Structure 1
Amino acid sequence: MERWSGRVALVTGASAGIGAAIAKELVNHGMQVVGLARRDDKVKELAAQCENAPGKLYAFQGDISKKEDVIAAFNWIKDNLGGVDVLVNNAGMMHESNLHDGEVEEWRQILEVNVLGLSLCTREAVQSMRERGVDDGYIVNISSVLGHIISGRDGIGMYNASKHAVRVLSESIRRELVSMGSRIRISSISPGVVKTSFFDRNATLTPDKLFQEAHVLPEDVVDAVIYVLSRPDRVQIQDMIIRATGTTY
């Protein structure tokens, strides 16, 4: 991880859970980290906790489903920090919404964040790297085990589909980069159930019910991020699935 000390990372959805844990750990490794989140006050609170770390955390308020917010974030990074070297696409959205009677607006929100927002951030990060001649940059997509299987739970079909899309998009951008002769790397990390506040607003996937099953913790996902970032240049971890011991899926 020494290679990343002093360099710039953007972490989306950095206000809580996995995103906050990743941002904090990257700061501990000496990186200049921009935490992009709708609740930037939470990122500022986290930044205060990192004051004595070798790196620094900057809070930027924005919603990745809004193109203007994403562009503003990348422009701010360019003007103040030079540009992005590492992008962690962590922000995610889930509604419980059946495919046979669900609300289109809820489906739209899932796709705008999990698919289009991720794609826009990836586009801007790659352009930032290439215009500065950065050929060792890294993109990490925090996906889900649901990008590899079909869940047996009702109500999350569109979320399930969005994570399958992330897997396809990750491989597609990897191939585009290879075609361009770029050595920018991309990895997907696909955890199962992670104990965070992500599920708090869902009706049936409540923490009391969900976390009775086997689950992992945010720090387990953080460990995976650090692992892929610390591999030598000749190695690209394409996809890592993290399942809790004893899980049924």
Structure 2
Amino acid sequence: MSERLHGTVALVTGASSGIGAATAVELARHGASVALVARRGDRLNELAETITRSGGTPLVIEADVTDEEAARSAVARTVEELGRLDTVVANAGVMLLGPIVDAPVEEWTRMVDLNVMGLLWTAHAALPHLLAAAETEPRKVADLVLVSSVAGRVARRGSGVYNLTKHGVGAFGESLRQEVTGRHVRVSLVEPGAVITELTGHNRPEIQEQNRGRWEGMERMEAVDIADAIAYVVTRPRRVAVNEILIRPTEQES
């Protein structure tokens, strides 16, 4: 059975930049048709043009997955227009750091809405289609990849609620894995360490200033490094499930 993705369909959330965009390109390179889901339509259109020029088949879906109906509609449109759904990469997320004491709680709401609820809405809508794909050719296996973080393993001062959301992603993923693995839907957790993306730019200026020196002198990973790991996970033979990948820069200690 082929380890490549020809004849399959993938959906990637948070596809407008960073890990999501790089993953969409990588999955298309492996032969999957790819639904690109994010809020920034202009970025998605640019990404779609890149994939099309390389011979791939993209579908642009401008949607905010924190809205349950928008998430369900994105999944439904993917299946309607591309014919099936074999791979979902739940990548959309935000990292808003800072002390818990006197925190602006709207930041907590934003993280829980996107990192947790957006992932749950996407997964719940996709699961019936993933289960169906796992019963059919060309691969008879389907994949749900949850992009977490090293923050889902290690709690640190100044990232308490972000830690909470990512620990939650890991717990949900492991429970779901046990539920569906016998039906050949693989649930995999990918936990990046320090990556050069736009993620840190979402923080308040004073938080950015406090964290400015944290990665100084370290060669951080690039989005393509995580995309390569995700592609490895979803291109394994049907008999192989990669349950979890913790991937950090060589120089990152914790």
- Tell me the TM-score normalized by structure 2: 0.90
Shift of 1:205: 3.5
In structure 1, the partner of 2:245 is 240
1:2-151 equivalences in 2 (<5 Å): 2-131=3-132, 133-134=135-136, 135-151=140-156
Identity of aligned residues (%): 35
Query: Structure 1 CA distance, aligned partners of 2:148 and 2:44?
Result: 21
CA-CA distance at 1:144 after TM superposition: 0.3
Q: Distance in 2 between matches of 1:58 and 1:9?
A: 10
Contact 2:3 2:236 in 1 (8 A): no
Residue 180 of structure 2 aligns to a residue whose secondary structure is: helix
Q: 1:97 touches 1:107 (CA, 8 Å); kept in 2?
A: no
* Aligned equivalent of 1:227: 232
Output the amino acid matched with 1:231. Answer: R
Q: TM-score normalised to the size of structure 1? A: 0.91
Gaps of 5+ in 2: none
CA distance in 2, matches of 1:131, 1:28: 24
Q: Amino acid of the residue matched to residue 184 of structure 1? A: V
Displacement of 1:101: 1.6
**CA RMSD, Structure 1 to Structure 2 (Å):** 1.8
Q: Could you give the per-residue CA deviations for residues 82-103 of structure 1, whole angstroms, max 9, x where no partner exists?
A: 2311000110012234322223
Paired residue secondary structure (1:4): coil
- Could you say which structure has the greater relative contact order, defined with CA pairs below 8 angstroms and 6 or more residues apart? 2
Match status 1:167 vs 2:166: no
Counterpart residue number, 1:209: 213
